[in-house]
């Protein structure tokens, strides 16, 4: 099975290398291009249908590998996961491809995303139905009244979070690849072979596309790519809610920590400035890092490092969750990450360039001992 997983990764990587140049030509031919403006970083017209290449290599790779999977390996839950990825993912990619060409309205895109999430929930019964809450009693079952809206909210939220960070060459693809790699490592820990296989296939598609998307990019993934990767990550990461003896509710949040935190800060920033939540701006993490003087490539690599740190925290947290100290470690991880996120947000000014409450408080605490010593 290990050989099959490696072959699946290599095959989809090769497929992405072949399909991406073809999709690039198609994007130029049909006019699915990204024109520079004052909000965007790139300075020349770019084809932006690259997500079709990611999706195409993923689907072809999956269909080629499935017949060779040993009988009995795929449970009904795993088959439902695969079908939901294929059908829901197809809806999302079609939406993204149309948006890459015609620039659809935000409301229409949101409605279609909710529809794709409903396909996952109602069509294949893939949903968050159990939650492992730290310091709570084992598993907390969720009723349909909470399970269904929570799952739809999770899928739509993560889908848009990946879309929001797609602002630099290779950024969304690389961060998504790190998240998929994290899920694959966790699946190895859990012994979930089908999820390892799905993750390997998706990761191969992303890595193959990155050869053309890393700075300086030759093609953008567009909404067809960012929305599909967000949808796939949301669906795959829900496994974290279902592995009842291993993973708490914190783990999926850590896996996609970078796009989720960037989305959260964007919402707070726009709320504070009394702007619509969906209004675009230049206050995202990658914008702030570039304003601090980091180059395009260094900015992307820094965010890769942050994403890898979140992924490592997710793996460590899930690995120790069964130990006697699991709840305490989860609590410490949450507190430490919230503190670091706040410090980082204040340092780079991702919410407000002037107000830094925690840094100011720390500065005052440092000043007090010095004042007392001078008084003596």
- pLDDT tens for 42-98 read 567 889 999 999 999 999 999 998 888 877 777 777 788 888 999 999 999 999 999
Higher pLDDT, 360 or 136: 360
300 C-beta neighbours (distance < 10 Å), count? 23
How far does Cα 366 stand from its chain's mean position? 38
Residue 253 has pLDDT above 50, yes or no: yes
Q: How far apart are CA 43 and CA 355, in angstroms?
A: 32
Q: Is the pLDDT at 262 greater than 80, yes or no?
A: yes
d(CA 327, CA 329): 5
What does the DSSP 8-state code read for residue 67?
G
Domain that holds residue 165: 2-375
Check whether 222 has a pLDDT greater than 90: yes
Whole-number Cα distances in Å, 27 to 13, 48, 102, 313, 332: 21, 7, 12, 39, 48
Residue-level pLDDT at 29: 94
E strand residue ranges, 251-321: none
Q: Which residue has the higher pLDDT, 244 or 288?
A: 288
Percentage of the chain lying above the pLDDT 70 cut: 87
Residue 146's pLDDT band (cuts 50, 70, 90) = confident
pLDDT value, residue 247: 45
Whether the predicted pLDDT of 28 surpasses 60: yes
For residues 231 and 91, is the Cβ–Cβ distance under 8 A?
Answer: no
Q: Sorting pLDDT into bands at 50, 70 and 90, what band is 218? A: very high
Q: What is the pLDDT at residue 194?
A: 84
C-beta of residue 51 within 8 angstroms of C-beta of residue 223: yes
Lookup: tokens for 22? 């073809």
Highest mean pLDDT among 114-128, 136-150, 208-222, 260-274: 208-222
Question: Poorest-confidence range of 25-29, 286-290, 372-376?
Answer: 372-376
Mean pLDDT taken over the chain: 85
pLDDT at 323: 58
- Sign (positive or negative) of CA dihedral 51, 53, 56, 62: negative
Q: Structure pTM? A: 0.89
**Who has greater pLDDT, 269 or 178?**
178
231 or 193, which is more confident: 231
pLDDT above 50: residue 244: no
Given phi > 0 = left and psi -120 to 50 = alpha, else beta, which region is 315? alpha
Rounded average pLDDT over 182-198: 87
Question: What span, in angstroms and rounded, lies between the C-alpha atoms of 235 and 87?
Answer: 12
pLDDT of 41 higher than 90: no
Q: For the chain, what percent of residues have pLDDT higher than 90? A: 45
CA distance 285 to 293: 13
Predicted confidence (pLDDT) at residue 142 exceeds the cutoff of 70: no
Tally the domains of the chain: 1
What's the average model confidence in pLDDT over 169-187?
Answer: 93
Question: Considering only CA atoms, which of 120, 102, 215 is closest in space to residue 159?
Answer: 120
Is the per-residue pLDDT at 359 higher than 90? no
Of the candidate ranges 45-59, 100-114, 218-232, 236-250, the one whose mean pLDDT is the lowest? 236-250
Nearest-CA neighbor of 118 among 152, 94, 84, 147? 152
- CB of 75 closer than 8 Å to CB of 23: no
The reported pLDDT for the residue numbered 338 is 84
Across 215-229, average pLDDT: 95
Residue 168 predicted with pLDDT over 70: yes
Q: How confident is the model over 146-155, as a mean pLDDT?
A: 89
pLDDT at 352 over 80: no
The residue among 257, 360, 361, 259 whose CA lies nearest residue 312 is: 257
pLDDT top residue among 4 and 141: 4
Give the residue among 200, 213, 297, 229 at the shortest CA–CA distance from 23. Answer: 213
Is the per-residue pLDDT at 246 higher than 60? no
């Amino acid at each position: 099975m290990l050989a099959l997983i490696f072959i699946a990764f290599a095959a989809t990587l090769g497929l992405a290398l072949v399909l991406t140049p073809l999709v690039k030509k198609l994007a130029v031919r049909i006019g699915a291009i990204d024109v520079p403006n004052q909000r965007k970083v790139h300075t020349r017209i770019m084809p932006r249908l690259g997500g079709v290449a990611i999706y195409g290599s993923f689907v072809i790779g999956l269909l080629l590998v499935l017949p060779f999977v040993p009988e009995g390996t795929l449970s009904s839950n795993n088959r439902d996961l695969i079908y939901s990825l294929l059908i829901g993912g197809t809806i999302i990619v079609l939406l993204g491809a149309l948006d890459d060409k015609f620039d659809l309205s935000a409301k229409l895109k949101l409605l279609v995303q909710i529809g794709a999430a409903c396909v996952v929930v109602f069509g294949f019964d893939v949903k968050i139905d159990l939650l492992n809450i730290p310091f709570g009693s084992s598993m907390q079952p969720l009723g349909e009244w909470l399970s269904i809206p929570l799952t739809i909210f999770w899928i739509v939220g993560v889908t848009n979070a990946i879309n929001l960070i797609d602002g630099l060459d290779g950024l969304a693809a690389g961060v998504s690849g790190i998240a998929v790699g994290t899920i694959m490592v966790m699946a190895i820990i859990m012994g979930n072979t089908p999820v390892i296989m799905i993750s390997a296939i998706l990761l191969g598609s992303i890595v193959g596309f990155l050869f053309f998307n890393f700075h300086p990019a030759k093609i953008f993934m567009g909404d067809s790519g960012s929305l599909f990767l967000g949808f796939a990550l949301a669906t795959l990461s829900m496994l974290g809610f279902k592995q009842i003896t291993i993973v708490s509710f914190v783990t999926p949040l850590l896996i996609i920590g970078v796009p989720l935190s960037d989305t959260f800060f964007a919402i707070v920033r726009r709320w504070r400035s009394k702007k619509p939540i969906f209004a675009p701006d230049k206050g995202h993490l990658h914008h702030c890092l570039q304003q601090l003087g980091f180059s395009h490539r260094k900015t992307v690599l820094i965010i890769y490092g942050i994403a890898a740190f979140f992924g490592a925290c997710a793996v460590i947290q899930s690995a120790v969750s069964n130990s006697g100290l699991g709840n305490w470690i989860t609590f410490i991880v949450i507190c430490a990450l919230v503190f670091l996120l706040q410090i980082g947000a204040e340092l780079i000014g991702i919410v407000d360039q002037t107000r830094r409450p925690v840094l100011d408080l720390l500065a005052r605490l440092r000043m007090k001992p010095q004042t007392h010593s001078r008084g003596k």
